[in-house]
Amino acid sequence: MDIRSTLFLCCLFFLNILLSQDLIIIESSEYAIVLKKDSLKRLQHVYFGSKASNLNEYRSIDKQLRFEVKDAADLPNHVYTPSGTWNTSEPALQILHSDKNPSTELEYKQHIKKNLGDGVSLSTITLVDPIYKTEVLLFYKVYHEENVFEQWSTIKNNEVQAIELKKYASANLYFRNNDFFLTQYHGAWGSEMQPETHLLTSGIKVLDSKLGTRSNLYAPPNFILSLDGIAKEDTGKVLLGSLAWSGNYRFDFEKDRFNNLRLIAGANNFAAEYKLGANQIFETPHFIYTYSEKGKNQASINMQRWSRKYRIHEGEGDRLTLLNNWEATHFNFNEKKIVALLDQAKEIGIDVFLLDDGWFGNKYPRNNDRNGLGDWEVNQNKLPNGLSNLIKKANKRGVKFGIWIEPEMVNPKSELYENHLDWVIRQPNRKEYYYRNQLVLDLSNPEVQNHVFGVFDNLFIENSNISFVKWDANSIIYNAYSEYLARNKLPQSHLYYEYVKGLYKVLERVREKYPKIPIMLCSGGGGRVDYGALQYFTEFWPSDNTNPLDRIFMHWEYSHFYPAIAMSSHVTNWNKESSIKFRVDVASIGKLGFDIEIDKLSEEEKEFCKQALLNYKSLQKSIWHGDMYRLQDPYENPIASIQYVNQEKTSSVVFSFLISQRFQTFYSNEPILFKGLDPKKKYEIEEINLFHREITEINQEATYSGEYLMKFGFNPIVTDKRKSVVLKINEITL
């Protein structure tokens, strides 16, 4: 190489370095977020989408953008939009400084990227206010293979006196395109996870929750955003978003004057201004999202894989099948009834018996939901020989023992309320309002945190061999007032944030001491399902509604965000008219359990359940640890179909259910296209979970290539006589 070309290459090299200093590129295995500094040191979003083959390609993207309008200073695509200076959009950050000046400016200072190992990297960007020195760190954690991004921020007060945070988002994203469709969720007790899809029009669409202890009940903290028309299973640009936070949240979707979309996600700032003392750091909740240009199914596979590998407690581990007594007995039980249930658990081969609500309280016996919550001593009338005796009886039968608690809450009719009124979230000078006759304990108070931890800990100290816990939380926060914050001269507006932080501190301690105990996250049905809490839990209770038909729809929606291994799914007497087979088959699409009096089943039904449990165990590699494919949508078809495939693509299971029998639609004339198999592998198909002497209508002798099953499909022959069909697909190896 001659001297001129060497010089030229050197110049190019240094130019590259110079340019790349202006650019921040955050990449997963397939997608990229590109940020660029402008002449005022404002950091802008310039790209979100599929990755370029070469980093240089990103350098001039901003040249194609026209955000600067003549004679106007505002900027819609700031990476963390501050307020009070040039901004005219919804801010990500709003601060009242110690001198009462409400403006903040953020200039880019530096960024660093660290490889955290295990396929994870963390980019940290520092932005600083040139006048007040407020320091904002933006964190982007990238899970490369799963194409999942986790974003949050910290805000540091570098003033001499306290400042007030009025808005403090976790993430502020910017998407360019025209037709954005949003799928949001709403619900109520028994009808959780109802989807609604609509076009986003100009202005701001806000999704939020103000329930305090949980949000999933009315408005789950998840959404599906599609950037190019309504999201489809296998095509389109889709982002799944989820705020990992069990309290109040807020998502702002602002379609701006350029027809682009600004997304601001974080804790809800409603009644939640945060006073930050000098040198203190405030950390926001984490916003988790995945992106796919191959439709919703790939996006949910990303999310589910990520969740199992990195988030849900023991996400790649095993689970226990349960027999719960709630639906079978409610509060009305005694030792004899429970021992009978233990026998039934043993009879059909269930791993763990779970004793639900009603086992505690003596002065105020917990015989209904108005009494005793908070008084965690065993009820002498119902269980005179204590828990240890029951545990022994269970273990003697080869059944493990689990127990229900609701340690964050209290009935006004309880000794806990009488003795520790200052631990209760309630207005000191007003009438109390109740949700399910109960109130919430003030977890902003460290003493209460110790108490809640103690409820869990004492159970294990006092009884050996507890193998499972169901952690319930039925109330939302009414009467929002903390005696503890008042006593410590802290603002009441800290309550919502500190409640959740306090809860996580307790759960952290629980997990430190009891890393191996499976714990179900429950909350009056599907009231608390989020990735903030789920890092401490092995599973969650999606809804008290266990009508199998409704559960198919709910499972369909939850599956966008959460893996089957975490979705407790029980056979109950809801919709008793449907057969036990239908109920068991539906419950098998999640984490199978029972909540039913098994001795009321016929011998054939019991035999069926026993065999179905064995079948389920043989499918765990696919259902718990494999990928899920939504084959046929229950909202659009008379037959719903869901498939799981193990990671090696050697084994799979397809569940098909008859949803609607109108106009003879129950005859499935069309084959269903399977997914996720290896086109080159050969498979055989076996129908399992056949009831009693039922003979399959499937030809089990034939073999099929993966290509055949995915291209031409397979007809499970769902009819009014065969309302649910479970097909096990196995690779044939000669």
How many Å apart are CA 291 and CA 557, to the nearest integer?
17
Least distance (Å) between residue 436 CB and ligand DGJ: 8
User: Within 81-100, which residues bind ligand DGJ (CB under 6 A)?
Assistant: none
Question: Each residue of 497-523: b (16+ CB within 10 Å) or e?
Answer: bbbbbbbbbbbebbbeeeeebbbbbbb
Query: Which element (helix H / strand E) includes 706?
Result: helix 706-711
The region that residue 553 occupies, defined by phi over 0 for left and psi between -120 and 50 for alpha, beta otherwise, is: alpha
Least distance (Å) between residue 406 CB and ligand DGJ: 7
Of these, 500, 522, 565, 619, which contacts ligand DGJ (CB under 6 A)?
522
How many Å apart are CA 206 and CA 203, to the nearest integer?
10
Of these, 525, 532, 548, 634, which contacts ligand DGJ (CB under 6 A)?
525
Among residues 326 and 499, whose Cβ is nearest to ligand DGJ? 326
Binding range to ligand DGJ, per CB under 6 A, among 35-43, 281-289, 518-526, 689-697? 518-526
Q: What is the total count of residues that contact ligand DGJ (CB under 6 A)? A: 11
- Count of positions (residues) in the chain: 734
Among residues 524 and 706, whose Cβ is nearest to ligand DGJ? 524
User: Within 228-287, which residues bind ligand DGJ (CB under 6 A)?
Assistant: none
Q: Which residues, at least 6 apart from 600, have a Cβ–Cβ distance to it below 8 Å?
A: none
Least distance (Å) between residue 470 CB and ligand DGJ: 6
Query: Which element (helix H / strand E) includes 417?
Result: helix 415-419
Residue 53's identity, in one-letter code, is S
Least distance (Å) between residue 475 CB and ligand DGJ: 11
* Residue closest to 327 by CA, chosen among 527, 519, 570: 570
Among residues 233 and 356, whose Cβ is nearest to ligand DGJ? 356
The neighbouring-strand residues paired with 627 are 645
Among residues 92 and 328, whose Cβ is nearest to ligand DGJ? 328
Binding range to ligand DGJ, per CB under 6 A, among 41-49, 91-99, 145-153, 521-529? 521-529
- Taking a C-beta distance cutoff of 8 angstroms, is the pair 619, 653 a contact? yes
User: Within 300-339, which residues bind ligand DGJ (CB under 6 A)?
Assistant: 326
Among residues 207 and 390, whose Cβ is nearest to ligand DGJ? 390
Using CB under 6 A as the binding rule, whether residue 544 contacts ligand DGJ is answered as yes
Q: Dihedral angle at the C-alpha atoms of 572, 574, 576, 578, nearest 10 degrees?
A: -90
Of these, 89, 474, 620, 689, which contacts ligand DGJ (CB under 6 A)?
474
Least distance (Å) between residue 370 CB and ligand DGJ: 12
Least distance (Å) between residue 722 CB and ligand DGJ: 31
Binding range to ligand DGJ, per CB under 6 A, among 76-84, 314-322, 421-429, 519-527? 519-527
Among residues 163 and 529, whose Cβ is nearest to ligand DGJ? 529
- Taking a C-beta distance cutoff of 8 angstroms, is the pair 355, 325 a contact? yes
Of these, 129, 357, 530, 539, which contacts ligand DGJ (CB under 6 A)?
357
Least distance (Å) between residue 545 CB and ligand DGJ: 10
How many Å apart are CA 485 and CA 501, to the nearest integer?
14
Least distance (Å) between residue 324 CB and ligand DGJ: 7
Q: HSE-up of 51 (CA within 13 Å, CB side)?
A: 14
Residue nearest to ligand DGJ (CB): 357
Of these, 159, 164, 252, 472, which contacts ligand DGJ (CB under 6 A)?
472
Using CB under 6 A as the binding rule, whether residue 605 contacts ligand DGJ is answered as no
Of these, 356, 408, 442, 557, which contacts ligand DGJ (CB under 6 A)?
356
Least distance (Å) between residue 216 CB and ligand DGJ: 12
- Taking a C-beta distance cutoff of 8 angstroms, is the pair 132, 158 a contact? yes
Among residues 324 and 622, whose Cβ is nearest to ligand DGJ? 324
Among residues 90 and 472, whose Cβ is nearest to ligand DGJ? 472
Among residues 474 and 724, whose Cβ is nearest to ligand DGJ? 474
User: Within 702-721, which residues bind ligand DGJ (CB under 6 A)?
Assistant: none
How many Å apart are CA 85 and CA 97, to the nearest integer?
14
Among residues 357 and 375, whose Cβ is nearest to ligand DGJ? 357
- Taking a C-beta distance cutoff of 8 angstroms, is the pair 249, 216 a contact? no
Helix, strand, coil fractions of the chain, as percent rounded to 5: 25, 30, 45
Rg, the chain, Cα only: 28
Least distance (Å) between residue 326 CB and ligand DGJ: 4
Among residues 597 and 731, whose Cβ is nearest to ligand DGJ? 597
For 227-309, strand residue ranges (E) read: 238-244, 249-255, 261-267, 274-276, 281-283, 286-292
How many Å apart are CA 316 and CA 319, to the nearest integer?
10
Among residues 183 and 329, whose Cβ is nearest to ligand DGJ? 329
Q: Which residues, at least 6 apart from 110, have a Cβ–Cβ distance to it below 8 Å?
A: 125, 126
In the shown chain, the binding pattern of residues 374 to 413 toward ligand DGJ, with x for contact by CB under 6 A and - for none, equals ------------------------------x---------
How many Å apart are CA 383 and CA 115, to the nearest integer?
54
Both structure tokens of 451:
């108490």
- Taking a C-beta distance cutoff of 8 angstroms, is the pair 685, 714 a contact? yes
Question: Which DSSP symbol is given to 285?
Answer: P
Binding range to ligand DGJ, per CB under 6 A, among 54-62, 311-319, 445-453, 517-525? 517-525
Question: Each residue of 108-123: b (16+ CB within 10 Å) or e?
Answer: beebeeeeeeeebbeb
Q: Which residues, at least 6 apart from 118, have a Cβ–Cβ distance to it below 8 Å?
A: none
Least distance (Å) between residue 525 CB and ligand DGJ: 5
Among residues 302 and 572, whose Cβ is nearest to ligand DGJ? 572
CB atoms within 10 A of CB 603: 8
Least distance (Å) between residue 330 CB and ligand DGJ: 8
Among residues 193 and 225, whose Cβ is nearest to ligand DGJ? 193
* Residue closest to 320 by CA, chosen among 402, 381, 263: 402
Binding range to ligand DGJ, per CB under 6 A, among 52-60, 139-147, 150-158, 522-530? 522-530
Least distance (Å) between residue 258 CB and ligand DGJ: 46
Using CB under 6 A as the binding rule, whether residue 524 contacts ligand DGJ is answered as yes
How many Å apart are CA 574 and CA 587, to the nearest integer?
12
- Taking a C-beta distance cutoff of 8 angstroms, is the pair 75, 173 a contact? no
Binding range to ligand DGJ, per CB under 6 A, among 40-48, 105-113, 520-528, 660-668? 520-528
Q: What angle do CA 236, 238, 242 make, to 5 degrees?
A: 165
Footprint of ligand DGJ (CB under 6 A): 326, 356-357, 404, 472, 474, 522, 524-525, 541, 544
